[in-house]
Amino acid sequence: MDIYALEYDEDCPVICLDEKPYQLLGEVREPILMKMGQPVRVDYEYERLGTASIFVMCEPLKGWHHAHARQRRTSLDFAHEIDWLLTQSHYRNVSKIRIVLDNLNTHNIASLYKAFPASYARALARRIEFHYTPKHGSWLNIAEISISILVKQCIGRRINCIQLLNAEIASWEDNYNALVKPIKWHFKTSDARIKLSRLYPCV
């Protein structure tokens, strides 16, 4: 939790990353559009059209959020998301990024070497510093707040294909980032040692 207490450093920002599974669903019957005094009506039946994994990133102190859906969440998918963050986002010129993430087996430097030539993977690895949430404590990842906002404002409904899903996410991202709402995290290390005492050594 100490990493969340660090002062803002534009040359070494703290980015939180997490994934959310998402089920692609289609309509069996066409919804009845809303009209005066009546909301849109959707049939309870739906068609399963596959799954996706949404990679979600946020920089809490800047109020920046990003999400992108992929078919899967393999080590290659993770590596390409990290590559995008380091080379194509507005963080491409920072010297290092501290990344908060959980203990999923793909969340490591080895994923970069699976996806890219060794020299390129090494160049990426030199610019990142992973900080892992405790086992069974992934809720301490602030990216989960971004996921909650994304679900409530954008994807908590039926979307039938990954292309539409990414288009809807991109629109949400542009609109929400324009609001510039930093996340104020109040849970401190001292609080964690009380609430999560079972995870800390007894000595």
Provide the CB-side half-sphere exposure for 158 (13 A, CA).
17
CA–CA gap between residue 197 and residue 36 (Å, rounded)? 55
Do 145 and 22 contact (CB within 8 A), yes or no? no
Nearest-CA neighbor of 1 among 187, 201, 168? 187
Rounded mean pLDDT, 136-163: 92
Q: What is the pLDDT of residues 162-193, one digit of tens each?
A: 999 999 999 999 999 999 988 887 666 665 55
For residue range 72-110, list pLDDT tens digits in order: 999 999 999 999 999 999 999 999 999 999 999 999 999
- Name the average pLDDT for the chain: 90
Q: Which domains are assigned to the chain?
A: 2-199 (3.30.420.10)
